[in-house]
Structure formats: structure tokens, C-alpha cells
Amino acid sequence: MENNKIKKGILMLEDGTKYKAYHFGAPLSTSGEVVFNTAMTGYTESITDPSYKGQILTYTYPIIGNYGIPSSSCKESICKFYESDKIQISGLIISYYSNRPYHWNMNSSLSDWLFKNGVPGLFGVDTRFIAKKIRKKGGSMLGKILMENEDIPFYDPNQENLSKKVSVNKKIIYGNGKYKILLVDFGLKNNILRCLLRRDCTIIRVPWDYDFTNEEYDGLILSNGPGNPKIYKKPIHYIRLAMKKERPIFGICLGNQLLGIASGGDTHKLKYSHRGHNHPVVLLKTGKSFITSQNHGYVLNTDNLSKEWKIFFKNLNDNTCEGIIHDHKPFFSVQFHPEASGGPMDTEFLFDFFINSIVNSIKNNK
């Protein structure tokens, strides 16, 4: 291993199950919510995705680290190959670590990158067996990565507001485009910014608890983010006030759940969480299906929404709601990631749908 001799470690789950393994990355113990991801690629993007804050990420794909880690070069605070400016996960669990990575764009190995950022990993574990066990428990379990002969308490990230740790702490403006977008940052992925900048937008990025009710904008985006949506009471209040303006609103992942709660809906934790790049959804209006990237443990329950709200997309695996849309106001949201970096780009057209709703809104308000 690159920075240290291979040390033995243990993955311990909240039910007392222990798995012997080997450390890579930082030789530290950590705890969090153990979740699994079924993607075959995109580990750099997942590891830097703020939606994984407080979680120990387990990859079911057996070979991780084979193409290393690209440069962290950033422009206007948007890192080119990362989904935020740093590693967000608490720890990483993989089956086999590729200790001879190679790629034309590689800047460092996965182990070195984790080591430099103080994040531990374990390899030599049957991650698919762990995924099956986690699914039986409900898609996630509390767990901890332990150095040999060490122990630390379990930590449940769902009990706190994680957006405080991953959101910006001040207003930031990007671009100088035609359309003025107010983007509420609950832990957004950088590719949301990239998708908007490619569509002639000026982006006003504000913290998760920012009072945006007096801001002027053409469209409002509620970003993805980590944790339990019911914790975000202040933003939900602001969203209700924003809906009275009838400016276009686009919610993504956590933003979908918050828009739903603001509209009278409820959320609950999924029995089987959705994390990976291969989740099929159907657009109910047309019957057309799409392959999507997803990362969430909670889902929107639409039973209490008014009749003006319709289900936009539905998950073809378990029939859960994957988005809602208002029947005459320019409000809509999706549970999956239309920016999808890394992952399939089937649904990036939703950003065009959002811009078109802004164009129509501007025309109607002239």
C-alpha cells in the first residue's frame, strides 16, 4: 500500500456483526451510517458528493481504485472532476483495492487521496453480502470502521442537520447569463452548476437556511443534500412563501422532498434505499423510461398532496414516487439526479424543461 504497511481492521455493524478486513487510506477509526452503491464507475464523484455526508460508503462493484483519482483543479470554486471541493464520506468499504491504478488523467491513487484527507477505508470484504444484509435491515445500518484493538461509539447522522456541514456559508454568484437562477444549497453537486452555466444562467448560490423570500430571480432550484428532510423546517417555510410568487421551481433529490413537504406531503425512510447509476424511472405523461443516477434513503409520500399535484416520474423497481409536478403552476421536482455526474445523462433535458418554464413565465409576466 502507498503510504503505510497494510494494517488489519474491522467493519462492525450495529447488530454486532463483525467483518475482518484490511485498512487502506488513513489508518483511523470512524463511524457513521453504512450505505451501499451499485455503480461500476464514478467513485470520485460519489466520494465527493455532499449527499453522502456522515456515511460509510460500500461499493458492490468488486474493483475500485483502478483508474485512480484525477486532479482537483478548480475554476471559480467549481472543481472540474469532483462534485464538491473535498471528500464527504466518513469511510469507504470495498471488496478489492486496485493498488496499481492507471489512467491518462490520474493524479494520485485512491489510497493516497484518502490518506491525505484523513478518511479511512477497508478492503477484503464481501461487499455484496454486506449489501444484502443492509437491504434486509432497510437500506442502511449504523456501523464503524475500526483499527485493530480500537473501538469508538456508533454515530447516527440522521439525527442532525447535515446541511450545516456541507452548504456554503455565504452568497456566491456564478456566470453572467440571461436567466437569473436562485440556487438553495443543501449540499449540491457541482454538476448542477455546470448544467446551468451551459444554459446561459447567472447563478446565485445561497446557504441552506438563507431567507430568499425577498430575492429577485427568474427561477428557483432546491438542490440535493444529505439527511432527514423533516429537519429542514426553516427552508420549508421559505419554499411555501416562494410558491406564492409563482416563479418556476425545480427541486432535485432532497429538494424534491422539501417541495413535497411544503406542498402538504410527507416523507418516510425507504425499506430499500436507492443508490447507484442504474435505476429505471418512467415519465408518467408519456410512458417513456429513463435510466437514472440516484442517492437517497428517504422518499416522498404523495397521499396528502392536493389534486393540483401529479406524480411526475415513478420508480420502475418499487413504484415509489420519483418526482412531482403542478398541473398549472411552474413547479416540479425529481428524486433522481438529472445532473448525474457520474452516471447516465438520460434526464439532463430537465434543465432545458426548467429554462423553458422560465422563458414562458417571463413572457406571461410582461
Over residues 295-309, the pLDDT tens digits come to 998 999 999 898 999
Q: What is the mean pLDDT of residues 150-168?
A: 94
Q: Which residues pair with 25 in a beta bridge?
A: 120
Maximum distance among all alpha carbons in the chain?
69
Report the alpha-carbon distance of residue 274 to residue 336 in Å, rounded.
9
124-to-63, 281, 323 alpha-carbon distances in Å: 11, 34, 38
Task: Summarize pLDDT for 339-350 with one digit per residue, the tens.
Answer: 998 889 999 999
Give the pLDDT confidence score for residue 80 in this predicted structure: 87
Helix (H, G, I), strand (E, B) or coil at 173: strand
Report the alpha-carbon distance of residue 81 to residue 190 in Å, rounded.
9
Q: What is the mean pLDDT of residues 165-172?
A: 96
343, 331, 227: which is closest to 294 by C-alpha?
A: 343
Q: Which three cell numbers stand for residue 280?
A: 429505471
Residue 343 near residue 305, CB atoms below 8 Å = no
Give the pLDDT confidence score for residue 223 in this predicted structure: 98
- Reported confidence tier of residue 57, pLDDT bands at 50, 70, 90: very high
The yes-or-no answer to whether 8-159 and 163-364 have a common fold is no
Residue 270 near residue 297, CB atoms below 8 Å = yes
364 pLDDT exceeds 90?
no
**254-262 vs 233-245: helix axis angle to the nearest 10?**
70
- Reported confidence tier of residue 273, pLDDT bands at 50, 70, 90: confident
The architecture (CATH level 2) of 8-159 comes to 3-Layer(bba) Sandwich (3.50)
284 pLDDT exceeds 70?
yes
Q: What is the mean pLDDT of residues 262-277?
A: 89
Mean pLDDT, the chain, as a whole number? 93
Give the pLDDT confidence score for residue 1 in this predicted structure: 47
Give the pLDDT confidence score for residue 135 in this predicted structure: 83
74 pLDDT exceeds 80?
no
The architecture (CATH level 2) of 163-364 comes to 3-Layer(aba) Sandwich (3.40)
Report the alpha-carbon distance of residue 228 to residue 296 in Å, rounded.
10
Give the pLDDT confidence score for residue 272 in this predicted structure: 77
- Reported confidence tier of residue 136, pLDDT bands at 50, 70, 90: confident
Give the pLDDT confidence score for residue 99 in this predicted structure: 85
99, 119, 94, 122: which is closest to 109 by C-alpha?
A: 99
Report the alpha-carbon distance of residue 236 to residue 224 in Å, rounded.
14
Give the pLDDT confidence score for residue 3 in this predicted structure: 47
Q: How many residues does the chain have?
A: 366
Give the pLDDT confidence score for residue 72 in this predicted structure: 78
- CA dihedral sign, ordered 63, 65, 66, 71: positive
Read off the DSSP letter of residue 310.
E
Where along the chain do its domains lie?
8-159, 163-364
Task: Summarize pLDDT for 191-207 with one digit per residue, the tens.
Answer: 999 999 999 999 999 99
- Reported confidence tier of residue 76, pLDDT bands at 50, 70, 90: low
Give the pLDDT confidence score for residue 155 in this predicted structure: 96
Our answer to whether residue 253 is catalytic in this structure is yes
Given 195, 201, 253, 321, the catalytic residue: 253
Residue 187 near residue 343, CB atoms below 8 Å = no
73 pLDDT exceeds 90?
no
